[in-house]
């Protein structure tokens, strides 16, 4: 069944999402009007997911809806911001009500969890593409940026790394996994957990932060380049899930952890003197030490004997 653009907006997007007092005018006019709280700055991010590029074409509509918001929430987490409002530009080949119901359900899961209002958007026909712009608040001058890592900072990551990469390899049938591990790593690919609470906790402690969307080396590389520093990663410290350890060799697991994208964990750096504060603000399973910021440019990876580890390739990059 096909419905009109306006019916689609009314049915799926205009009424179901959380309401907020700071939205003065939401969906329905030429633009939304919102009130920024006193003392807050806006953190604004946008991310596009293209079918076949950012998710396999057979991904469920619910997972697509979830992930489209999750990747933006992850950007907010990496800034230490609190999400508030979003706009949705949806391009789809047809108005399939079953697909739209499930897509909206996935989106609502996270919108409700983080109390995000859908305040507007655009709906067009074409190849399946989802763009979400997310707007959040951050107290003045407390954002976590990429460019302020300092020599001597300790480097940490949240969660475990490489699971989403193994999930993608499984979906693309490059590897055959046991059913429970396959389910776990595909869940990690499709349902990343935005680390909003960790971002908040780090506001006055971390010198720099980034979310890992393109692989640890690529994303930590953004921190080191924009901060004009280098880094050393102690490979045996990398947090690897039981799933990764069970299915592939340690060297392959490191390779996934360093270069596979889509984990949406945070990587952050902290001055040595603040590291003892971490247990007060985060639980021990929320973060893992992986190395240090150093003077020498580039990122060195060393094994337990201090020997350099050579990789096959770096993180995912578009257009090369
Ligand atoms: P305009 O012609 O002013 O661009 P549209 O007809 O595109 O308006 O949209 C009508 C209203 O519905 C606007 O308030 C717009 O923000 C909202 N809207 C359109 N598409 C979406 C969507 N996918 N999600 C949320 N709101 C939407
Ligand atoms: Mg429009």
Looking at the structure, do residues 172 and 77 belong to the same domain, yes or no?
no
Domain membership of residue 149 (yes or no) is no
Instruction: Return the half-sphere exposure (C-beta side, CA atoms, 13 A cut-off) of residue 121.
Output: 26
144 contact partners, CB below 8 Å, separation of at least 6:
78, 79, 80, 199, 202, 203, 206, 208, 209, 268
What are the tokens at 216? 């640890």
Whether the pLDDT of residue 6 is over 70: the answer is yes
| CA 131 to ligand 1 centroid distance, Å | 13
Domain holding 81, by residue range, is 5-139
| Atom 20 of ligand 1: nearest residue by CA position | 122
Residue-averaged pLDDT of the chain = 95
Over residues 36-74, the pLDDT tens digits come to 999 999 999 999 999 999 999 999 999 999 999 999 999
Looking at all shown ligands, the one closest to residue 27's CA atom is 1
pLDDT for residue 4: 85
Domain membership of residue 220 (yes or no) is yes
pLDDT for residue 309: 87
DSSP 13: I
Looking at the structure, do residues 291 and 232 belong to the same domain, yes or no?
yes
Over residues 161-179, the pLDDT tens digits come to 999 999 999 999 999 999 9
pTM of the prediction?
0.94
| Atom 5 of ligand 1: nearest residue by CA position | 122
What's the structural domain count of the chain? Answer: 2
Looking at the structure, do residues 158 and 288 belong to the same domain, yes or no?
yes
Average pLDDT score over residue span 180-203? 97
| CA 98 to ligand 1 centroid distance, Å | 21
Whether the pLDDT of residue 79 is over 80: the answer is yes
């Amino acid at each position: 069944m096909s419905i009109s653009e306006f019916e689609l907006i009314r049915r799926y997007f205009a009424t179901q999402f959380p309401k907020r007092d700071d939205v003065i005018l939401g969906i329905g006019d030429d633009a939304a009007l919102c009130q920024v709280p006193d003392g807050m700055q806006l953190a604004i991010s946008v991310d596009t997911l293209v079918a076949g590029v950012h998710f396999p074409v057979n991904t469920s509509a619910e997972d697509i809806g979830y992930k489209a918001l999750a990747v933006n929430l992850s950007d907010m987490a990496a800034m230490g911001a609190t999400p508030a409002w979003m706009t949705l530009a949806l391009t789809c080949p047809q108005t399939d009500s079953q697909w739209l119901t499930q897509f909206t359900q996935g989106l609502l899961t996270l919108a409700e969890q983080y109390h995000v209002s859908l305040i507007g958007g655009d709906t067009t026909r074409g190849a399946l593409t989802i763009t979400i712009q997310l707007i959040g608040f951050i107290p003045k001058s407390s954002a976590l940026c990429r460019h302020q890592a300092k020599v001597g900072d300790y480097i940490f990551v949240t969660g475990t790394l490489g699971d989403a990469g193994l999930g993608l390899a499984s979906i693309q049938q490059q590897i055959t996994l046991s059913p429970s591990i396959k389910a776990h790593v595909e869940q990690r690919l499709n349902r990343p957990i935005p680390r909003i609470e960790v971002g908040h906790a780090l506001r006055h402690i971390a010198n720099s932060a980034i979310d890992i969307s393109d692989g640890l080396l690529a994303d930590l590389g953004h921190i080191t380049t924009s901060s004009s520093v280098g880094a050393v990663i102690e490979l045996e410290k990398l947090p690897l899930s039981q799933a990764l350890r069970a299915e592939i060799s340690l060297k392959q697991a490191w390779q996934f952890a360093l270069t596979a994208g889509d984990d949406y964990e945070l990587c952050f750096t902290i001055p040595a003197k603040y590291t003892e504060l971490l247990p007060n603000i985060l639980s021990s399973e929320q973060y893992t030490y992986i190395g240090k910021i150093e003077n020498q440019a580039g990122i060195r990876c060393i094994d337990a004997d201090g020997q350099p580890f050579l990789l096959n390739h770096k993180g995912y990059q578009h257009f090369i």
